[in-house]
Amino acid sequence: MAERETLEVDVLIVGAGPGGLSAALRLAQMQQAKGGEPLSIAVIEKGREAGIHQLSGALLDPSTLHDLIPDFAARGAPLGTPVDNDNIYFLTETGKLRLPITPPPFQNHGNHIISLSSFTKWLAAQVEAEGIDLFWGFPGQHVLYEDAAAPGVERRRVIGVRTGDRGIGKDGKPKGAFEPGADIHAKVTIFADGVRGHLTKQLYSQLEIGIASEPAQFAIGIKELWDIPKDRLKPGTVIHTLGYPLREEEFGGSWLYAMADGHVSIGFVVGLDYKDPLFDPHAAFQHFKRHPFISSILADGQLVRYGAKALPEGGWASQPSLFVDGALIVGDAANFVNSMRLKGIHLAMRSGMLAGETAFDAIRAGDSSSAALKAYKTRVDASPIKTELYPVRNVHQAFGAGLMAGGAYAGIAMLTRGAGLPDLAGHFGHREMKTIADYYGLAKRDILVASNAAPIDRKLTFDKVTGAHYSGTHHDENQPVHLLVQTDVCHSVCGPEYGHPCVRFCPANVYEMVDNGAGGLRLQINASNCVHCKTCDIMDPYGVITWVAPEGGEGPSYDGM
């Protein structure tokens, strides 16, 4: 049996998204500026190559990029298309009302329509050019701690990460060439594992990093890339919509960003705190595309790529403890997204930079205790992250009371920059879902049809299986299922109470109820369809689904997304 390797580095970064890569680059810059013994830095990423697991809108606010890489233009940053015009509409079932003014959060002059996947690829190249090792296809599987029982150790201290094993079959036994994951020990570990990062989630349960903050809030974003006739939309056109097909009780909206050559990014965001157990976010997206305004834009066009990903929406109030002994948390893993602006890339980059600076100072001082790493929180509090997020700290929470109440709260927050507004208590979104009996007032059982089911024509609207195909996702079937489900709960109570909502909230048909051959149903997990969106880990009403990383290098292929 192969031996497990142990590697020692100064800084380990988990996740090569904008947050993790910015941390790595800042560390290299600090090294150049301050000299001394070179730091050893490693970045591990579950995707098999740079950018392949990145999905975003994406409108880039370039403010952090200016500070991190001032000569980004000379270095060929793929900044896509500058925003030319902003439009915001309220949709009814067949009509549209253009808002006469664009509210400040929706003003995008100076921003760029980018592919986050391409941008991340470029950022990774900048990091590699600094001689930093990036390990593609290496998922972190477990957080490693110093033994709290050891003499002189009072609290559990993060000492690194164990990466996933390779070569285990679905029966849990080695298949072919078995390669155990490595233990990577680091003086400072930076968790940049994105929304609902599964290692950051371990910190929530093992170190209680969320105990002093509001519950995290999430939304699911479903995105498609389309090619449409080139003269249909002026490149740089930005359209956001509110309203149809969502109801007052659901939070969300859409985007449509026109790039050069007829490429269009179109997507729909739904808060993962909806009440209707039979609601299906993917079906809502199909209805949205069938709206006359949107279908006229997509007419004669072609779907190029599909994907989905959750995003954190709880904002400033939901940030966890950002530092613990031996570790820091950045970007989406720390819930740094401005949900009013639907923007988090520049915040992930900024928090990555600040974490990089803090880690560098801590290592030079020979102290990576939480007392030393607290400097990261001080830096965040003095940075544009707080300036941007604090005024809108409770906006998503306010929308819990409906579109009108949320809109009013958001309006006041903009006028007062958040001053004088009460802090609202957040809620765990999955607990907002009502049982079928509570929501419909009758005990319907075994209903698997979405309350908002949409017609599928495979031209404009697509089913989830086709969507998964267009995401390019791939997983070897012969490996342990990476979605850990307590199926006893699923069969005994979830079916009768909620009608198996996983079938509906998953955007890739991973969860399917099939005939069990005895007159009933059984859950079939199509793990190979998974697009790593994390929605199931977030939205299951009993919280009995845990997403863990599959074998390294597997998952979606988000080229161009």
Binding site for ligand FAD (CB under 6 A): 14-20, 44-47, 53-54, 56-59, 116, 139-140, 192-195, 197-199, 221, 223, 267, 309, 311, 331-333, 337, 342-346, 348, 549
Pair of tokens at residue 331: 């970007």
- At 362, list the tokens: 């801590």
In angstroms, the first-to-last Cα distance of the chain is 40
Minimal distance in Å, beta carbon 189 to ligand FAD? 11
Q: How far is the CB of 328 from ligand FAD (least distance, A)?
A: 12
The amino acid that residue 112 corresponds to is H
The minimum distance between CB 352 and ligand FAD, in angstroms, equals: 7
Q: Where are the alpha helices (DSSP H) in 197-330?
A: 198-207, 281-290, 292-298
Q: What is the CA radius of gyration of the chain?
A: 23
User: Looking at the chain, how many residues does it have?
Assistant: 561
Smallest gap from Cβ 141 to ligand FAD, in A, equals 7
Cβ proximity to ligand FAD, 283 vs 372, nearer residue: 283
Nearer to ligand FAD, 18 or 277 (CB): 18
The least distance separating ligand FAD from the CB of residue 337, rounded to whole angstroms, comes to 5
Q: Which residues contact 421 (CB under 8 A, 6 or more apart)?
A: 394, 409, 412, 413
Neighbours of 469 (CB within 10 A): 14
Q: Which tokens go with 431? A: 């607990």
Question: Is the Cβ of residue 51 or residue 501 nearer to ligand FAD in the bound state?
Answer: 51
Q: Which of 266, 220, 257, 254 is nearest to 90 (CA)?
A: 254
Alpha helices in 217-344, H assignment, sequence order: 281-290, 292-298
Least Å from the CB of residue 199 to ligand FAD: 5
Rounded to a whole number of angstroms, the minimum distance from the CB of residue 99 to ligand FAD is 19
Among residues 33, 39, 47, 42, the alpha carbon closest in space to that of 6 is found at 42
Q: Which is nearer to ligand FAD, 284 or 523 (CB)?
A: 284
Q: Where are the beta strands (DSSP E) in 150-194?
A: 157-163, 166-168, 174-179, 183-191
Nearer to ligand FAD, 317 or 523 (CB): 317
Contact 60, 119 (CB under 8 A): yes
Give 39 or 192: the residue with its C-beta nearer to ligand FAD.
Answer: 192
Q: Which is nearer to ligand FAD, 56 or 81 (CB)?
A: 56
> Which CB atom, from 332 or from 512, has the smaller least distance to ligand FAD?
332
Task: Classify residue 236 as exposed, middle or buried by CB count within 10 Å of its CB (0-12, 13-18, 19+).
Answer: buried
Cβ 364 vs Cβ 75: under 8 Å? no
Measure the CA–CA gap between 188 and 381, rounded to whole angstroms.
Answer: 21
Q: Which is nearer to ligand FAD, 139 or 426 (CB)?
A: 139
- Give the nearer residue to ligand FAD in terms of CB position, either 47 or 356: 47
Are 68 and 22 contacting, i.e. CB atoms less than 8 angstroms apart? yes
Which amino acid belongs to residue 523?
Answer: L
Contact status, residue 418 vs residue 391, Cβ threshold 8 Å: yes
